[in-house]
Amino acid sequence: MTHASAPWMAFVAEAPRGTRASDLAAIVGQHVERVRDLRRMTGASPAPTASVDFAVLFARWHGRPPTEAEWPIPRKTQRGYDWHAPELALLASLVGTTSPAAIADILTKRLQALTGDRGAVRTATSVKLALNRCGLQTTDVVGGLTVPQAGKVFGSEEPIRDAIRRGDLKAKKVGRLLLIPHAAWDAWRTSRRQAPEGYVRLATLKEPLAIKSDKLPEFARMGYVPGAILCDAPIGKASSSRGAWYIPQEVAAQMLADRRAGRPMPWQGMPLMDNLKSTWKKWQPRKHPATCETCSAIWDDAGAPTTFDDFVARYPPLELGAKRHLTRPWSPGLTSKEVAKQAGRSLGNVSRAISTGQLKSRLENGHHYVGQADATIWIARGCPSGDRANDWCALATATQRYDFTEEELRGFIAAERLQTRIEPVGPNRGALQVAWRQVAKLREDIGFSEEQAAAKVGVSIGELRILLEGVQWRRQGDGIPLFTVQALVKRRQSKHGHTVEEAAAILGESVSWVEARIVDGVARLYKPRWTDRTHITDIGLEALREASATGTAPAGTPADWLTAPQAATLAGVCKMTLVRWGREGYLTSGPTPRGPVYDPESVKRQARIYWATARFRRDTRPDWLKAEVPHYQPRGCVSAPKRESRASA
């Protein structure tokens, strides 16, 4: 050992404990074995847990920081190769520009080139751990924003993702993340459509209009909301991917006024295009064959629609029953064997019923099929087979019962729509008879004209139309159905209550006395929708009888007292609960001809007691009670305490 080597020897001897021999050798430019020999001679042994920065020692010896080429080769340990500052600097430069897996591939190639070890590897996990030691994260990006970061600024991620999918907002892939450059983000924000002055957001009308569904944007998109325009929501306000709909303030005010007055909304009664598209798609594979008589009657002579535009024009006006039939999977009906099994009768019985017209069937590919409704009616009638005499009637009887002329009946017979037989016995032996059930079915299918229906009911055509407005009925073809005419006849024959004159005669009072008691509120006059006749009910007649017996009218209740439905709404409970409160004496009530009425203050008092101890999950209290006690949590809403773990126990 020469004197000229003393400087590096002194540096090595004075190096801090724990400094690696390989690091000292790289700093002073000596072989690592010479450094180790020198340290053994001087008694400097490295501490196993010590760590000394290579760059600090290098700067102490050379007076400058080391370059990348002057760093030692990474040393292999049991946990893998060491991480040096140049590799960590490269790692930091790659974060935010590529994925951890790609970073691991780049660092692996560099490590293999430095060490010459083809088995040297940097895994994605080791890269993530190194990033954590450096205070970095894999979600860090450089030069822009991720979609979640942009969503926090914007208020929602979906419009941003939709803009990226449409190409309106430029983004690039950084590993598993989407990076939005700052310039593209600023340009997209400034290009958004702003709502004009004097417009309000359509979504704000959802609660005032009492609409619980999310159909308002769909109505606006189909043009059913006047003046609606599609704009972009302000920054920080969430919206759908398409944007937000806005309408003029005057249109919004008019819609609210129409809702309060009970007038229809602009979209009510209008076809929904999305629903029509779904129905068209469902109807295509379920289209019934041309032999389906119901479909032929529904579509009339024009036939089934062949295009979607024709379907849109003709499907919405159809009745609900017709729409259900069109979209129902096609089935020709029940076979004779299936009908016999349901009825518990023999196959011959079913065949005779079909041949005699007692059971309606349709011929499909040489086989008879019976509809489920027809089979149910036939079974309910006792499964008549046409063998009994009362299954048939003469032409004159059918004419009298069902208002067909004899010529019309003979025309049905010639068209094979009516089954006939010759009466075998009796005084009319040899006379032609028809199956009366078939005649009744024909009348149901054909219906009555207005002239025929008016004659059968016994009113004029004008009175008939007034009566028809008071019943729920649907037109079948061009006529009025048989059951509707029968309902009108029963309604005309029925008598509701007593007129003022009849009540006065029953009570032995004058008509003016009865009218005065009606003004006092002792009784009421009721008028059905289907007639101009007013009447007093039996309950009202009893109240008048009591007033006549006592000589005075019963004391009336205050005008602000509430009926049972009104009081139930005020208390926020059902009607049965309110009636029970009154029966148990919790409410102040009074009798009236229309039923008991309740003092609003007593209803509120009992409602406060009820809701203070009620157990419920949603706050369904009435609004006035919420205003009195805004922050209220019933006993049933208190969350149960968490169970203690065994370790803590």
pLDDT digits (tens, 9 = 90+) for 590-612: 777 667 888 999 999 999 988 88
pLDDT at 74 over 90: no
In the prediction, which pLDDT does 93 show? 63
The fraction of the chain above a pLDDT of 90, given in percent, is 5
Name the strand (E) or helix (H) holding 323.
helix 320-327
Please give the mean pLDDT across all residues of the chain. Answer: 79
Provide, for the chain, the percentages of residues in helix, strand and coil under a 3-state DSSP scheme, each rounded to the nearest 5: 50, 10, 40
Of the candidate ranges 18-22, 438-442, 575-579, the one whose mean pLDDT is the lowest: 18-22
CB environment 264-303: b (16+ within 10 A), e (fewer): ebbbeeebbeeeeeebeeebeeeebeeebeebeebbeeee
The fraction of the chain above a pLDDT of 70, given in percent, is 82
What is the C-alpha to C-alpha distance for residues 171 and 590, in angstroms, rounded to an integer? 73
Q: Which residue has the tokens 């983000």?
A: 185
What is the distance, to the nearest Å, from the Cα of residue 579 to the centroid of all Cα atoms in its chain? 34
Rounded to an integer, the average pLDDT of 210-220 is 83
3 state DSSP class of 98: strand
- Contact status, residue 367 vs residue 333, Cβ threshold 8 Å: no
In the prediction, which pLDDT does 279 show? 92
Quickly count helices (H) and strands (E) in the chain.
32, 16
pLDDT classification of 530: cutoffs 50, 70, 90: low
**Long-range contacts made by residues 426-432, C-beta under 8 angstroms, separation at least 24?**
426/389, 428/394, 431/394, 432/394, 432/395
Burial class, 455, CB count within 10 angstroms (exposed 0-12 / middle 13-18 / buried 19+): middle
Give the number of C-alpha atoms closer than 13 A to the C-alpha of residue 475, restricted to the C-beta side: 9
In the prediction, which pLDDT does 570 show? 92
3 state DSSP class of 536: strand
What is the C-alpha to C-alpha distance for residues 150 and 50, in angstroms, rounded to an integer? 45
pLDDT digits (tens, 9 = 90+) for 164-174: 877 777 777 66
Between 442 and 6, the higher pLDDT residue:
442
Residue type, position 285, single letter: P
pLDDT at 531 over 80: no
Is the backbone of residue 262 left (phi > 0), alpha (psi -120 to 50) or beta? left
pLDDT digits (tens, 9 = 90+) for 117-156: 887 888 878 777 776 776 655 555 555 677 777 777 776 7
Give φ, ψ of 6 to 5 degrees.
-60, -40
pLDDT at 587 over 80: yes
Q: Where in the chain are the domains?
A: 3-72, 144-190, 199-261, 273-327, 450-493, 500-550, 562-637
3 state DSSP class of 80: strand
Q: Beta strands of 155-265 (E only): which ranges?
A: 172-174, 177-181, 199-201, 229-231, 244-248
Of the candidate ranges 64-78, 111-125, 285-299, 435-449, the one whose mean pLDDT is the lowest: 64-78
What is the C-alpha to C-alpha distance for residues 331 and 461, in angstroms, rounded to an integer? 41
Please, which residues have CB within 8 angstroms of residue 403's CB and are 6 or more apart in sequence?
443, 448, 452, 456
Rounded to an integer, the average pLDDT of 216-239 is 78
Beta bridge partners of 80: 77
pLDDT classification of 212: cutoffs 50, 70, 90: confident
In the prediction, which pLDDT does 469 show? 76
Rounded to an integer, the average pLDDT of 462-485 is 76
- Contact status, residue 117 vs residue 126, Cβ threshold 8 Å: no
- Start-to-end Cα distance in the chain: 71
pLDDT digits (tens, 9 = 90+) for 357-410: 888 888 877 888 888 888 898 888 888 888 888 888 888 888 888 888 888 888
- Contact status, residue 527 vs residue 533, Cβ threshold 8 Å: yes
Residue type, position 527, single letter: K
What is the C-alpha to C-alpha distance for residues 304 and 281, in angstroms, rounded to an integer? 15
Of the candidate ranges 187-191, 209-213, 313-317, the one whose mean pLDDT is the lowest: 187-191
pLDDT digits (tens, 9 = 90+) for 176-193: 667 777 777 777 777 677
- How many Cβ atoms sit within 10 Å of the Cβ of residue 60? 12
What is the C-alpha to C-alpha distance for residues 196 and 5, in angstroms, rounded to an integer? 85
3 state DSSP class of 420: strand
What is the C-alpha to C-alpha distance for residues 389 and 260, in angstroms, rounded to an integer? 63
Between 476 and 590, the higher pLDDT residue:
590
In the prediction, which pLDDT does 250 show? 92
pLDDT digits (tens, 9 = 90+) for 322-343: 888 898 888 888 888 998 998 8
What is the C-alpha to C-alpha distance for residues 394 and 401, in angstroms, rounded to an integer? 11
pLDDT at 43 over 90: no
